[in-house]
Amino acid sequence: MRERIRPGYFERLYAQDADPWAFASSPYEAAKYDATIAALDGRHFGSALELGASIGVLSARLAPLCDVLLAIDVAEAALERARERLAGAANVRFERREIPEQFPAGPFDLIVASEVLYYLDEPAFAAALDAIDRGLAPGAVLLAVHWRPATETYPLRGDEVHARLAARFGPAAVSERTDEYALDRFDRPA
């Protein structure tokens, strides 16, 4: 297995390009964000955590659905753009944190892991699953979305991430597969 991808990798990417994955302009990203929001079935959440917020494009879509949204990322350059994007959103807070070591204390009613868990190697992934499990409140939702095609960089593939999430959190309440991404919503019993 490849080693986990550390913060310096992302800092270098954002130093070269303010939006290296075209989150703000890609039709793929827009369609994926539409599917992500649709998977939440119009629910409202008290406390939410977004892992890997990047420049805040998905954060802006999540914010109206939450009383409080904590959005984290390892790259300060990305978080600066996210803070600018959501400057008027009093219910959103952005923090620089690396998971699993700096996983925020819950409980959270919603945890969103969009295109982030496959950057972790085996020990970090296992620890992140433990942290997510501890962070989910009774009745909470875990929503995960990951790129499916193989890459030469990421330690895990998206399908592998989702198989392991299902093994840990049970069958998905909502599940969607496209050629590009896997999306699963796991509902914790109340």
In the chain, what are the domains? 7-187 (3.40.50.150)
Rounded-to-integer distance, Cα 51 and Cα 59, Å: 10
Angle of the 158-169 helix axis to the 122-135 helix axis, nearest 10: 40
Could you read off the pLDDT of 96-143 as tens digits, one per residue? 999 999 999 999 999 999 999 999 999 999 999 999 999 999 999 999
Residue 75: partners with Cβ closer than 8 Å, 6 or more residues away: 7, 10, 11, 13, 14, 54, 96
Q: What is the mean pLDDT of residues 149-170?
A: 93
Position 1 confidence tier, pLDDT thresholds 50, 70, 90: low
Name the β-bridge partners of 144. Answer: 113, 184
> What does residue 72 show for φ and ψ, rounded to 5 degrees?
-120, 155
So what's the pLDDT on residue 153? 83
126: number of Cβ within 10 Å: 14
CA–CA distances in Å: residue 162 to residues 104, 166, 167, 185 = 22, 6, 9, 10
Spatial separation of the C-alpha atoms in residues 83 and 81, rounded to whole Å: 5
